[in-house]
Amino acid sequence: MATVKLGFIVKSLPYKTEASRLALTHAIASQTVEIYLEDGDMVEPVVAFIGDGVLNCLKNQKAMNMYGVTSLEQHLKNSLLLDMRVLICKEDMEKLGLSEDALIMDAEDIGGETKANIAPFSEIMKEMDSTNHLLFF
């Protein structure tokens, strides 16, 4: 039995490029690979938002209303609904003047129980160190 831990680190801003969207969709999709693994083997994705990437986590994104595309807010909530570990860099939040109230911290409105974590960069570094594979977006 083994667990392969994947770290998806998001530093890109949303919408202008697909980078941050791909990070979340790949993180969600990574769990489906378990059907190809031996019994008991698992994949554990972790998503961390750093730098300008923390702006992906803002609430009230109206991308669907404006452009008919799924919002990063919805992808992030789907990640939490699947009990994915989500970290948001505390220092970068503070640097950009963002409060916890402004960010998507849970997916309670769609039945999720897992919450996002605001973490110092040192903790995110430890998380990166503990992963088997690291992917930057």
Q: Are 14 and 21 in contact (CB under 8 A)?
A: yes
Tell me which of 46, 73, 76, 116 binds another protein, using CB under 8 A: 73
Angle subtended at Cα 16 by Cα 28 and Cα 75, rounded to the nearest 5 degrees: 20
Determine the interface stretch with another protein among 8-16, 26-34, 80-88, 120-128 (rule: CB under 8 A): 8-16
How many CB atoms are located within 10 Å of the residue 58 CB?
Answer: 17
Should residue 19 be labelled a site residue for another protein when binding is judged by CB under 8 A? no
Should residue 55 be labelled a site residue for another protein when binding is judged by CB under 8 A? yes
- One-letter identity of residue 121: F
Chain contacts with another protein (rule: CB under 8 A):
13-16, 52, 55, 58-63, 65-67, 71, 73, 95-98, 102
